[in-house]
């Protein structure tokens, strides 16, 4: 009973702070379950993928209703993230756990450094995974606003044109592999690829990435689920906690001064990365 409540609380904390800082729950769930509850990393990743799906599902609905996400671009790229997730999900069961722990430690360091260098909340580049009331409306992609018949034009939206679809596809495969290997949404890869490489406005890239997270995590989660990588007694309480925490966090994010929280979080992420690497080496 107490463990169950603790796990709900841990999920709540991961969802709340992940949402406040634009990280999504995945980055935090895996270290909490492995370092805090002693779960094998592979099972923590499976649970984390479920959490990514439930939080991104609710958020994506909001983004679509508000016409922020680019559905055509998202669906085209998620074909590639799904392929990456399929590969990552299969490879995850073949890799030694220590190697996965090293990879996760490196991911945490990368997130901490990215967060430390960022002036605004990390929502733009992270696994933003919960409904966000602060999102302004952006018109959806509009086939009638397309000047020519090229694929790039068809995937573009009003006011911007998509470039380098090939790079986007390759980046999406990478995002899918990372997602399924480490149990994250993959927004850390997808948002920069869409925004910097493909020329998609940041807000649209964030919302579109969120939409893609569902299928990306789902393609990986199916493999974890059928191969015994998801424990329902762990996934249930954690998913409920993350969902509630992310919902509250996304509504509170724009009312809270996040500078101190972000600084504290960078320290926690670096400490967690150190713990994860120590565990891998030990």
Partner 1 sequence: MTASNPGGLLGSATGAGFAKGSQEPGPPGLERSIARVLTIGTYASIGLIAVGVVLMLADGIGPLSNGPAFDATRLVPDLAALRPAGFLWLGLIAAVATPAARVLASLIGYARRGEREMAIVASLILVVIALSVALARSLEG
Q: Does 227 bind partner 1 (CB under 8 A)?
A: yes
Question: What's the closest the beta carbon of residue 233 comes to partner 1, in angstroms?
Answer: 4
18 Cβ neighbours under 8 A, 6+ residues apart: 24, 25, 26, 27, 28, 126, 127, 129, 242, 245, 246, 249
Q: Does 282 bind partner 1 (CB under 8 A)?
A: no
Among 99, 113, 145, 252, binds partner 1 (CB under 8 A): 145
Check: CB of residue 189 under 8 Å from CB of residue 81.
Answer: no
Taking Cα atoms as reference points, which of 211, 172, 217, 215 lies closest to residue 193? 172
Q: Does 85 bind partner 1 (CB under 8 A)?
A: yes
Question: What's the closest the beta carbon of residue 66 comes to partner 1, in angstroms?
Answer: 8
Measured from the CB atom, the residue of 142 and 271 that comes closer to partner 1 is 142
Measured from the CB atom, the residue of 219 and 277 that comes closer to partner 1 is 219
User: Residues, the chain, total?
Assistant: 282
Q: Does 95 bind partner 1 (CB under 8 A)?
A: no
Q: Does 170 bind partner 1 (CB under 8 A)?
A: no
Question: What's the closest the beta carbon of residue 98 comes to partner 1, in angstroms?
Answer: 22
Q: Does 40 bind partner 1 (CB under 8 A)?
A: no
Taking Cα atoms as reference points, which of 186, 83, 172 lies closest to residue 126? 186
**Terminal Cα distance for the chain, rounded:** 32
Check: CB of residue 261 under 8 Å from CB of residue 122.
Answer: no
Size of the site for partner 1 (CB under 8 A): 74
Question: What's the closest the beta carbon of residue 52 comes to partner 1, in angstroms?
Answer: 10
Q: Does 62 bind partner 1 (CB under 8 A)?
A: yes
Neighbours of 67 (CB within 10 A): 17
Question: What's the closest the beta carbon of residue 274 comes to partner 1, in angstroms?
Answer: 25
Measured from the CB atom, the residue of 62 and 115 that comes closer to partner 1 is 62
CA distance 269 to 6: 20
């Amino acid at each position: 009973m107490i463990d169950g409540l603790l796990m709900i609380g841990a999920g709540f904390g991961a969802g709340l702070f992940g949402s406040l800082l634009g990280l999504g729950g995945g980055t935090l769930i895996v270290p909490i379950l492995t370092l805090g509850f002693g779960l094998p990393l592979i099972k923590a990743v499976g649970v984390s993928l479920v959490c990514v799906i439930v939080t991104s599902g609710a958020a994506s609905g909001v983004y679509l209703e508000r016409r922020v996400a680019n559905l055509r671009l998202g669906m085209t790229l998620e074909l590639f993230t799904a392929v990456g997730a399929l590969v990552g999900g299969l490879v995850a069961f073949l890799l030694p756990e220590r190697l996965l722990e090293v990879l996760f430690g490196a991911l945490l360091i990368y997130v901490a450094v990215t967060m430390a260098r960022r002036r605004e909340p990390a929502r733009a580049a992270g696994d933003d995974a919960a409904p966000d009331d602060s999102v302004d409306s952006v018109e959806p992609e509009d086939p009638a606003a397309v000047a020519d018949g090229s694929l790039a034009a068809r995937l573009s939206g009003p006011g911007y044109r998509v470039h380098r679809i090939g790079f986007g596809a390759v980046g999406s495969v990478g995002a899918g592999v990372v997602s399924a290997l480490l149990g994250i949404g993959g927004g850390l890869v997808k948002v920069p690829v869409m925004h910097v490489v493909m020329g998609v406005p940041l807000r649209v890239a964030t919302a579109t990435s969120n939409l893609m997270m569902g299928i990306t995590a789902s393609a990986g989660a199916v493999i974890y689920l059928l191969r015994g990588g998801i424990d329902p007694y762990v996934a249930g309480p954690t998913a409920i906690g993350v969902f509630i925490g992310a919902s509250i966090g996304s509504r509170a994010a724009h009312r809270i001064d996040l500078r101190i929280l972000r600084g504290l979080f960078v320290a926690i992420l670096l400490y967690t990365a150190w713990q994860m690497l120590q565990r891998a080496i030990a």
